[in-house]
A and B are shown apart, each in its own frame.
Chain A
Amino acid sequence: MELLLLLTLFVVAVFLGVELITKVPPTLHTPLMSGSNAISGISLVGAILSAGSDAGYWVNILGFIAVVLATINVVGGYMVTNRMLSMFKRK
């Protein structure tokens, strides 16, 4: 049952994403990509759980690498998107 709920969530989110993204104008396609990159850095949540778990050294190390990569995505993604978008804003 839980799997079905998660699948439902996934499919509904895909449809919602398609509806939203088709409305993004071509002008903003590059910031959309870097911004969605930042969002995919949400894997940081999973990385944190592995890096701090009690499952042993290797799990923590792998979690640490994942935390580094995901944080680059989050911080780099949001910052560079913000930098680009402020160029569109100023006049």
Chain B
Amino acid sequence: MDNTIIYLAYLVASCLFILGIKGLTKPRTAVRGNQLSALGMLIAVVVTLLDHSIISYQWIIAGIIVGGAIGAFMAKKIQVTAMPQMVALLNGFGGGASLFIAIANFLDPASATHTVALISIGATVLIGSVTLSGSFIAFAKLQELISGNPIRVPGNKVINLVLLVAAIALSGAIVVDPTQIDLIYALAAVSLLLGIFLVIPIGGADMPVVIALLNSYSGIAAATTGFITGNTVLIVAGALVGASGIILTQIMCKAMNRSLFNVLFGVMGEGGVVADADEVYAGKVKSTSPEEVAMLLETAERVVIVPGYGLAMAQAQHAVRDLANELQRRGTDVKYAIHPVAGRMPGHMNVLLAEAEVPYEQLIEMDEINPQFEQTDVAIVIGANDVTNPLAREDKTSPIYGMPILNVDKARTVIVIKRSLSPGFAGIPNPLFANDNTLMLFGDGKKEIVELTKDLKEAD
């Protein structure tokens, strides 16, 4: 097919991607936006199949069948609680695709001809490899194949720096002497190692930042792939995804009051005078029962539910929705307070609650809900910890000082549903649990809520 037509079709596809993302700015138009974006993809793929440089189709068809089957299977089977793992894997596959295309182009004497192509190949192999191995480590942590806690490797920063310098040197060497085929494999190996060492020290609670960042890398890798052969749709689409990931990374860092550097190198806030847990909790923690909480809720007019990662762990989203339904039936006002980094990826809690058919109007963002806690009768915290810790607001010596939190302690009564008093990711005790107006409901989130709802129903 004529190149002009191909590039015009790519232009149409690029516009559809932009309209698709624009659709995602409102829940009402989001489904349509996603379909427009998919249509753009279809157009780009179909015109590419008509490119006259393609001489055989067997590998293409086989690849599309295998990839399509795996992709469809994953999309159908994945549980909503496991969405962070799914996105981590997809990021990795995106980076991997760019990596293999770059190596293929390097081996193809027709495309690795000029300096720009060679620089782009080096950049793509580097970014693609880091995205691939980094995403798989993130996946393994989220799936708990390896520990979700930060894994400290001695000299990690030095190793990262050495690997990065080596990768850049190898990228340069490829441009100088493209006949040395082995150099590209060395570059890929070094970059894959770099990806592993970049993600391994990062703990589970920082995963929203890592996933957003790797999302951005997968886009940038696609864009640099576009520079190899001057493919416009790759450049536009890759740039859009790269920008998206960077914006989400920024939002997540801001919500944790940490710089990207601190997250990447596993640094928790400075100062870091960690209070002794016994001192904070001793004799002050009041434990309660589902029955007692049900009695409290009977007379409550305004209830705010604060979900955290523990909600996803306990798969308690449907139980929570049932409780909220029962409360609403009794005329109680129910809202959900969503902290931007609650869960393991941006928007994790929203998707989880949407699955349980909680209307999104009831999900209130932090800045909007915080002034309302003072008028709240009962705040129910389920599996959230650090994002409710008042030390972030009050104690300048605390490692989490300055992190924006949900002011649940301002509510008249706070119910915390949690297995134990164990600390959250920040590793510090939470004085909220010892407050006069706090009652601890120890146990599995789902079980306790089911119990609680039952007691509330029987109260009539």
Contact = CB atoms under 8 A, between A and B. Distances in A.
Contact of A40 (B25, B72, B219, B235): B219
A78 B238 contact: no
Contacts of A24: 21, 24-25
B440 interface: no
B97 A73 contact: yes
Interface residues of A, number: 83
B27 A89 contact: yes
B12 to A, nearest CB: 13
Nearest to B239: A13
**Which of the listed residues A32, A54, A59 has the most CB atoms from chain B within 10 Å of its own CB?**
A32
A65 B48 contact: no
A14 B75 contact: no
A90 to B, nearest CB: 7
Which of A26, A39, A64 has the most CB atoms of chain B within a 10 A radius of its CB? A39
Contact of A49 (B22, B53, B116, B354): B53
Contacts of A84: 80, 83, 351, 354
A17 B21 contact: yes
A8 B405 CA distance: 41
A68 B67 contact: yes
Interface string A30-45: 1111111111111111
B71 interface: yes
Interface string B11-44: 0011001101110111110110111011001001
Contacts, number: 379
A27 B244 contact: no
A33 B227 contact: no
B70 A68 contact: yes
Contacts of A89: 27-28, 30-31
B75 A80 contact: yes
A27 B53 CA distance: 44
Given A17-B21, A37-B87, A43-B94, A77 B100 contact: no
A20 B348 CA distance: 21
A76 B74 contact: yes
B239 A52 contact: no
B49 A35 contact: no
B3 to A, nearest CB: 13
A75 B71 contact: yes
B34 A40 contact: no
A46 B48 CA distance: 9
Contacts of A63: 59-60, 63, 100-101, 104
Given A21-B244, A37-B218, A72-B71, A26 B63 contact: no
Contacts of B25: 20, 23-25, 28
Nearest to B340: A26
A28 B132 CA distance: 25
A65 to B, nearest CB: 5
Contacts of A21: 21, 243-244, 247-248
A38 B241 CA distance: 9
A13 B235 CA distance: 8
Contacts of A88: 27, 30, 354, 360
A57 to B, nearest CB: 10
B147 interface: no
B50 to A, nearest CB: 10
A34 B48 contact: no
A66 B100 contact: yes
Nearest to B363: A27
A17 B108 contact: no
B235 A75 contact: no
Contacts of B37: 35, 38-39, 78
B41 A78 contact: yes
Interface string A50-84: 11111110111111111111111111111111111
A63 B225 CA distance: 13
Nearest to A9: B235
A53 B54 contact: yes
A16 B22 CA distance: 10
Contacts of A86: 31
Contacts of A23: 25
B96 interface: yes
Contacts of A83: 75-76
B338 A52 contact: no
Given A3-B227, A55-B107, 4 more contacts: A21-B21, A25-B27, A27-B27, A76-B72
27 contacts: A9-B232, A15-B243, A17-B247, A18-B246, A21-B243, A27-B27, A28-B347, A29-B345, A30-B348, A33-B245, A35-B21, A40-B219, A40-B237, A42-B233, A43-B94, A46-B234, A47-B97, A54-B53, A55-B108, A60-B56, A64-B60, A66-B63, A66-B101, A75-B71, A80-B78, A84-B351, A85-B34
